[in-house]
Amino acid sequence: MLTGCIALSMWTFLRAIDETEQRPRWWAFVMAASLGTSLLFKSLIGVVFPIAAAVIYLVLTKQLFDPRVRKALHIWSGLLVVLLISAPWHIPGNASKPALL
């Protein structure tokens, strides 16, 4: 399941930054949802590896600071989607632990 979510996030990343794509916002939403799901599956491993691969790709293709790519990825709304998916699991788990005296 983790491998499927990571593969889906990488594929949708490529679809979102494609110049000929008609709906990059939708692909960015699916990418964020798959990152949130992979965060649930394996914590930070599920998010760090796809993001690192995407950054490496953007560096190698000289698109890292391209405003068109930043706009196509919808970073802030994507972060909100990731948090909406993963936060309900992570926040209550930490709140129920007893405090050490």
Question: How does pLDDT run across 21-80, given as a tens digit for each residue?
Answer: 899 899 999 999 999 999 998 888 889 999 999 999 999 999 999 989 989 999 999 999
**Is a pLDDT exceeding 80 seen at residue 94?**
no
Q: Cβ distance 34 to 5 under 8 Å? A: yes
Identify the residue with better confidence: 48 or 89: 48
Angle, helices 45-60/24-42, rounded to nearest 10 degrees: 140
CA-closest candidate to residue 90, choices 52, 45, 36, 51:
36
Domain spans in the chain, listed from the N-terminal domain onward: 2-90
What pLDDT shows up at residue 27?
94
CA gap 10, 22 in Å, rounded: 18
- Long-range CB contacts (within 8 A, 24+) of 10-14: 10/50, 10/53, 10/54, 13/50, 13/54, 13/73
**Is a pLDDT exceeding 80 seen at residue 99?**
no
What lies within 8 Å, CB to CB, of 53 at 6+ separation is: 10
